[in-house]
């Protein structure tokens, strides 16, 4: 959503995700804020990046890049607001 709709520096998309997946997860924004994210786009600037095993190699440049379509998440409950194994925390 951030790629197509952009970031308006609010929790618009994170809130929508929480409403759809886990309406009782009241602490999600607080948890993300403690880790440095101030809005939707901050999640991917200061909190998470796509895990290395999900990246694809550009055959022209030999660089690893994000895939055109995000892979489906696995290994977490459908109602979880925690990142799945496709994501790793930025240190």
Q: Which residue is listed with tokens 């690893």?
A: 64
Q: 79 falls in which pLDDT band (50, 70, 90)?
A: confident
User: Which residues neighbour 84 within 8 Å (Cβ) at sequence distance 6 or greater?
Assistant: 73, 74, 75, 76
pLDDT in tens, 3-62: 788 889 999 999 998 998 888 888 888 988 888 889 998 887 777 888 999 999 999 999
Q: Which residue is listed with tokens 């959503």?
A: 1
Residue 6 is classified by DSSP as -
Q: 67 falls in which pLDDT band (50, 70, 90)?
A: very high
């Amino acid at each position: 959503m951030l790629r197509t709709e952009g970031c308006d520096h609010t929790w618009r998309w994170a809130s929508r995700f929480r409403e759809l997946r886990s309406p009782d997860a009241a602490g999600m924004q607080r948890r993300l804020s403690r880790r440095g994210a101030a809005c939707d786009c901050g999640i991917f600037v200061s909190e998470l990046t796509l895990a290395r095993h999900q990246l694809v190699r550009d055959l022209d440049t030999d660089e690893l890049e994000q895939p055109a379509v995000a892979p489906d998440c696995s290994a977490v409950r459908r109602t979880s607001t925690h990142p799945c194994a496709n994501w790793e925390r930025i240190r």
